[in-house]
Amino acid sequence: MFASDLDRTLIYSAAALGLTGPDNMAPRLLCVEVYQAKPLSYLTETAAELLRRAADATVLVPTTTRTREQYQRVRLPIPTPAYAICANGGHLLVDGRTDEDWHAAVRTRLTDECAPLAEVRAHLRATADPAWLLKERVAEELFAYLVVDRAQLPPTWVKELTEWAEPRGWTVSLQGRKIYAVPRPLTKSAAMAEVARRTGARTTLAAGDSLLDADLLLAADHAWRPGHGELAETGWQAPHVTAVADRGVGAGERILAEALRHAAA
């Protein structure tokens, strides 16, 4: 089984492509997401072919913090995957449809083990300064995130939020312009383990670039992270996680090629 993050791991916005060198040597790109009638996300044509091969060779599981609506905008060049993980593990899609039993089990864990989302949102609103807060959002009524002006964000604010959230069963991470507050039991790794159980997969592979992917990579038998993203910036590593040197859209090609070689071996 190959569980891979999407944004900045397999697919890339125009700003995240990281293209270098002469324009006439740039890779051919395939648009895989349109939002508000504008192209939004891409992968290279080479990566598209590797993705098709990966879908044939493994149980390919797109794994994302995106909501289901945001995920369903993405049109990967493969048939609808049998499984997909959305909302950081809060929703498991089976043949494109929500598995309500899985979601109910997740909700029960969150209720039993964590402070309610309303309490966390109230704290965020009370402590965030309009001088640097751009947006406050909730994803699938499961977790919250803020979009902030990083230049104006006080250097101690995230640390203080983390200290407040931890005893309430929540984790905090700063990724780019977003500050995520996520219940501790809400993980991609738990959903990956459930897919492995259902499919009987004996080996799990994973890929991701952000702090919210760390548990996924740690839970896999072998994993990859690109040369960009929060994990790379913090120097995060583990013995079974390969740090790919490639950055930008080329990293997607490299990760897919490495995953295919590992699956074949």
User: Tens place of pLDDT for every residue, the chain, 265 residues?
Assistant: 999 999 999 999 999 999 988 999 999 999 999 999 999 999 999 999 999 999 999 999 999 999 999 999 999 999 999 999 999 999 999 999 999 999 999 999 999 999 999 999 999 999 999 999 999 999 999 999 999 999 999 999 999 999 999 999 999 999 889 999 999 999 999 999 999 999 999 999 999 999 999 999 999 999 999 999 999 999 999 999 999 999 999 999 999 999 999 998 8
- CB under 8 Å to 145, separation ≥6 — which residues? 136, 137, 139, 178, 179, 180, 181
Note whether 59 and 1 are within 8 A (CB): yes
Instruction: Give me the number of domains the chain comprises.
Output: 2
pLDDT of residue 164: 98
Strand, coil or helix: what is 238? Answer: coil
Indicate the burial class of 22 (C-beta count within 10 angstroms; 0-12, 13-18, 19 or more).
exposed
Domain limit, last residue, from 183, 213, 239: 183
- Are 88 and 166 contained in the same domain? no
- Are 177 and 194 contained in the same domain? no
- Are 87 and 123 contained in the same domain? no
Q: What angle do CA 175, 177, 181 make, to 5 degrees?
A: 55
The bridge status of strand 143-148 relative to strand 133-139 is: antiparallel
Domain limit, last residue, from 160, 183, 206: 183
CA–CA dist 213, 191 (Å, integer) = 12
Measured between alpha carbons, how far is residue 142 from residues 73, 86, 103, 138, 212 in Å?
20, 11, 10, 7, 14
CA–CA dist 184, 172 (Å, integer) = 9
CA–CA dist 241, 262 (Å, integer) = 13
Domain limit, last residue, from 183, 215, 230: 183
Give the chain's radius of gyration (CA, Å).
18
pLDDT of residue 251: 97
pLDDT of residue 265: 84
pLDDT of residue 13: 96
Note whether 248 and 17 are within 8 A (CB): yes
Give the pair of three-digit tokens for residue 18.
């990281």
- Are 100 and 216 contained in the same domain? yes
| Percentages (nearest 5) of helix, strand, coil residues in the chain | 40, 25, 35
- Are 138 and 247 contained in the same domain? no
- Are 19 and 139 contained in the same domain? no
- Are 149 and 173 contained in the same domain? yes
Tell the residue number behind the tokens 């916005």, with chain if given.
13
pLDDT of residue 175: 86
- CB under 8 Å to 245, separation ≥6 — which residues? 227
Domain extent, residue 82, equals: 2-107+186-264
CA–CA dist 163, 159 (Å, integer) = 6
- Are 19 and 98 contained in the same domain? yes
Amino acid identity, position 189: S
Measured between alpha carbons, how far is residue 253 from residues 54, 202, 205, 224, 260 in Å?
12, 25, 16, 12, 11
How many residues would you count in the chain? 265
Measured between alpha carbons, how far is residue 196 from residues 60, 68, 122 in Å?
11, 21, 37
